[in-house]
Structure 1
Amino acid sequence: MDFAKISRRHLLRGSAALTLGSVLGVRSAAAADTTIGFIYVGSRDDYGYNQAHAQGAAALKKMRGLKVVEEEKVPETDAVEKTIESMINLDGASLLFPTSFGYYNPHVIKMANKFPKLRFEHCGGLWSDKDPKNAGSYFGYIDEAQYISGIVAGYSTKSGKLGFVAAKPIPQVLRNINAFTLGAKLANPKATTQVIFTGDWSMPVKEAEATNSLIDQGVDVLTCHVDGPKTMVENAARRGAMVCGYHVNQSPLAPKAYLTGAEWNWEALYPKFVKMIAAGEAIPNFYRGGLKEEIVKCSPYGEAVSAEARKHADDIKAKLIAGGYTIFKGPIMDNKGKTVITAGTDRGQKDPELEKMDYLVEGVTGATS
């Protein structure tokens, strides 16, 4: 399929029509490629958040009729507005993916209002019906993959002490910490998780300090929710601990220490978006999915993962893909002894209560602020 000349009119609806170069399927020399812009807050080879998006952009580069332009290390300030305008005015971008969480409000909203004939897709889940209709947000239920990592971690720990290096205590981060811990307790009811918050998405020095501090306290399996897991993975492996990755597959960094990981699957989603646009299908302004929708995935198991752990994790993963399995199923208490999900209550992935999660579950130690 040739994706040249995606219609701007249809981009307003989150969809587009195709103009084929000729009936023979050869694109006309006069037909320009459709240009798609990607903006990253960090390096696109960070073995983390930005690399996951860059892998998705790379998948689009393989599709005929598309031109992809990228800009990395763009801060969450009005600098992203300048980058967006440059991509539009100089490169002719008509579909933009500003990927960092902090880009959206006010920057993406401002640009979407300024360029109402273009389409803006933001990763992070902040769109509301009060926002421009030519903007949208997409995100994945990556806590499903974190839950699977937790199961593997629960089987793999010898001390029963797990560690989590986290950036900020916002709902999505807390949701990942809690899912990881609930998965671990499913495999090992005595497992506990110690969390250290660094304060921001990319702070390698503090991430290294947190990793070493957790290991000094007896933690022998670690994971994280920061932009670049490379620091945690390499430091933990150097200290003899095992790791579960995040964002992308970090096993090349620590082949013997890597157990599994929670990965984004933008390589599947971005081509899907473009194909939906080309087919005239509307992309919902608020787009979500998990393992079943192939928006997230699990890293392959490392050599240290036991057959028992693999079987249990695979069984639960199959149930999540099939649908109907609930991670946050009551009764669940927080780490202060308060019941946060009552017995008989299931909080499925679309439950709005999960979008505003502000607690850590029983078995997790670490302050939320």
Structure 2
Amino acid sequence: MKKLFTMLCLTLGLGLSAFSYADEPLKIGFVYVSSTGEAGWTHTHDQARLNLEKVYGDKIKTTFIENVAEGPDAERVITQLAQSGHKLIFTTSFGFMNPTLKVAKRFPDVKFEHATGYKQAKNVGTYFDRIYEARYLTGVVAGYMSKSNVIGYIGAFPIPEVVRGINAFTLGARSVNPDIKVKVVWVNTWFDPAKEREATNSLIDQKADVITFHTDSPAPVQAAEDAGVYAIAYHSDMSQYGPKAQLTAAIHDWNDYYAKVTQAVLDGTWKSEDVWGGIAAGMTKIGPFNAEVPKEVADKVTALKEQMMNGTLHAFTGPIKNQAGEVILPEGEVMADGDLLSMDYYVEGVDGKLK
């Protein structure tokens, strides 16, 4: 009888323990390379985090750590999140890739999602949006709006992701204005408002009358506003920083993807994947058009966006030439994803050498 009572207590205890664990909220961690702010790359991820809280309520509990340097500091922060019971961790910068993989090996029961990376593991998935689609469309706007035929582009680091954006933007601009030249300045940082502003002013001095960028802060938009030139924002709508300057924006939207991943972890159906969704998937968008953009231009870009959504237009469709004038993609051919992901050259129309 005593043995039966003991077994009954153990069974009940285990049952209560499992029930209690199931009732605990899913702890989700976010690692950011810059501050959440009111605009930019990190801001878009944090907006998706806040959306998760609205969608899932007390089923989840989120934590974010901002201004995390890429490298050893990132590994330390990711480890702390895993050790403190976070079962889903989003690491949201390219330089977090290897630290994420290192930590994932030590915590096989934790699910990791790394933004912009290309290395996966059993418990590490990767994701990004085809922002080059919005780059192409906003390039069309810039091509129509530039009077000097010079567009300035601020690049963070010369990696395929950034080079792909430069090329897509250039192809879009030159599709409506073959005389366009895109000048690139590299700042070798994701987030440094002072450097970004300095680079903007340098490009304006070189006759650029439209500025765009692949960095995180709204400093280029602010500098363009101060100088009386146009800007194409990146990551998020930055019109509050340049209501006259910003023509439109290339925007990330992580809301639906983060909700989908969270639901999969809650359901126990999550698996490592490499996700690359664009305009058709709702992960990439373009911002509202400034009143300065003529209606016929806005209508043209909207029509092109619809073609991208239904698959009849691809930003990288031949013929495409490199800077040397060599055909790298024959007429009518669409560039394969592998070639897009490894892009290490400039297309015709980009002014400058790739570092």
Q: TM-score, normalised to structure 1's length? A: 0.87
**SS of residue paired to 2:305:** helix
Instruction: Give the Cα separation in 1 of the matches to 2:64 and 2:215.
Output: 22
Instruction: Give the Cα separation in 2 of the matches to 1:169 and 1:314.
Output: 30
Amino acid in the other structure paired with 1:355: L
Specify which of 94, 99, 117 is matched with residue 125 of structure 1.
Answer: 117
Amino acid in the other structure paired with 2:326: K
Instruction: Give the Cα separation in 1 of the matches to 2:311 and 2:270.
Output: 24
1:60-104 CA distance string (max 9 Å, x none): 1112211100111111122222222322333x2100001111011
Unaligned runs of 5+ in 2: 1-18
Instruction: Give the Cα separation in 2 of the matches to 1:284 and 1:301.
Output: 37
Instruction: Give the Cα separation in 1 of the matches to 2:320 and 2:334.
Output: 10
Change in Cα spacing, 1:279 to 1:33, as seen in structure 2 (3 Å) is: closer
Alignment partner, residue 18 of structure 1 = none
Instruction: Give the Cα separation in 2 of the matches to 1:356 and 1:101.
Output: 14
- More deviation in 135-144 or 159-168? 159-168
Is 1:307 equivalent to 2:295 in the alignment? yes
Alignment partner, residue 19 of structure 1 = none
Alignment partner, residue 99 of structure 1 = 92
Instruction: Give the Cα separation in 1 of the matches to 2:21 and 2:317.
Output: 57
Q: In the alignment, is the contact (CA less than 8 A) between 2:209 and 2:229 conserved in 1? A: yes
- More deviation in 310-319 or 284-293? 284-293
Is 1:187 equivalent to 2:179 in the alignment? no
Specify which of 320, 343, 346 is matched with residue 360 of structure 1.
Answer: 346
Specify which of 134, 143, 150 is matched with residue 154 of structure 1.
Answer: 143
Is 1:222 equivalent to 2:211 in the alignment? yes
Q: In the alignment, is the contact (CA less than 8 A) between 2:233 and 2:248 conserved in 1? A: yes
Instruction: Give the Cα separation in 2 of the matches to 1:85 and 1:166.
Output: 30
Write out aligned runs for 1:69-80 (5 A). Answer: 69-80=63-74
Write out aligned runs for 1:4-19 (5 A). Answer: none
**SS of residue paired to 1:42:** coil
Offset at residue 30 of structure 1 (A): 8.5
Instruction: Give the Cα separation in 1 of the matches to 2:92 and 2:134.
Output: 20
Q: In the alignment, is the contact (CA less than 8 A) between 2:117 and 2:127 conserved in 1? A: yes
Find runs of 4+ consecutive structure 1 residues off by over 6 angstroms.
27-30
Is 1:172 equivalent to 2:176 in the alignment? no
Is 1:242 equivalent to 2:230 in the alignment? yes
Amino acid in the other structure paired with 2:146: T
Alignment partner, residue 52 of structure 2 = 60
Instruction: Give the Cα separation in 2 of the matches to 1:201 and 1:367.
Output: 20
Write out aligned runs for 1:316-355 (5 A). Answer: 316-348=304-336, 351-355=337-341
Specify which of 101, 106, 114 is matched with residue 106 of structure 2.
Answer: 114
Specify which of 275, 282, 285 is matched with residue 297 of structure 1.
Answer: 285
Offset at residue 137 of structure 1 (A): 0.5
Q: In the alignment, is the contact (CA less than 8 A) between 1:133 and 1:285 conserved in 2? A: no
**SS of residue paired to 2:76:** helix
Instruction: Give the Cα separation in 2 of the matches to 1:145 and 1:52.
Output: 15
Instruction: Give the Cα separation in 2 of the matches to 1:82 and 1:162.
Output: 40
Offset at residue 109 of structure 1 (A): 0.8
Offset at residue 175 of structure 1 (A): 0.7
Q: In the alignment, is the contact (CA less than 8 A) between 1:257 and 1:304 conserved in 2? A: no
Alignment partner, residue 125 of structure 2 = 136
1:312-345 CA distance string (max 9 Å, x none): 1001100111113221112211112222212342
Specify which of 19, 31, 37 is matched with residue 29 of structure 2.
Answer: 37
Offset at residue 311 of structure 1 (A): 0.9
Alignment partner, residue 262 of structure 2 = 274
Instruction: Give the Cα separation in 1 of the matches to 2:271 and 2:307.
Output: 27
Size of the alignment, in residue pairs? 335
Instruction: Give the Cα separation in 2 of the matches to 1:268 and 1:162.
Output: 33
Q: In the alignment, is the contact (CA less than 8 A) between 1:263 and 1:299 conserved in 2? A: yes
Unaligned runs of 5+ in 1: 1-26
Q: In the alignment, is the contact (CA less than 8 A) between 1:127 and 1:285 conserved in 2? A: no
Alignment partner, residue 241 of structure 2 = 253
Instruction: Give the Cα separation in 2 of the matches to 1:363 and 1:283.
Output: 41
Q: In the alignment, is the contact (CA less than 8 A) between 1:222 and 1:236 conserved in 2? A: yes
Instruction: Give the Cα separation in 2 of the matches to 1:55 and 1:119.
Output: 21
CA RMSD in angstroms comes to 1.8
* RCO higher in structure (CA 8 A, sep ≥6): 1
Change in Cα spacing, 1:112 to 1:171, as seen in structure 2 (3 Å) is: same
Larger proportion of helix = 2
**SS of residue paired to 1:209:** helix
Instruction: Give the Cα separation in 1 of the matches to 2:342 and 2:81.
Output: 34
Change in Cα spacing, 1:29 to 1:119, as seen in structure 2 (3 Å) is: closer
Offset at residue 283 of structure 1 (A): 4.5
Offset at residue 204 of structure 1 (A): 2.6
Instruction: Give the Cα separation in 1 of the matches to 2:271 and 2:176.
Output: 38
Offset at residue 281 of structure 1 (A): 4.3
Is 1:213 equivalent to 2:206 in the alignment? no
Instruction: Give the Cα separation in 1 of the matches to 2:170 and 2:298.
Output: 17
**SS of residue paired to 1:256:** coil
Instruction: Give the Cα separation in 1 of the matches to 2:255 and 2:242.
Output: 23
Alignment partner, residue 250 of structure 2 = 262
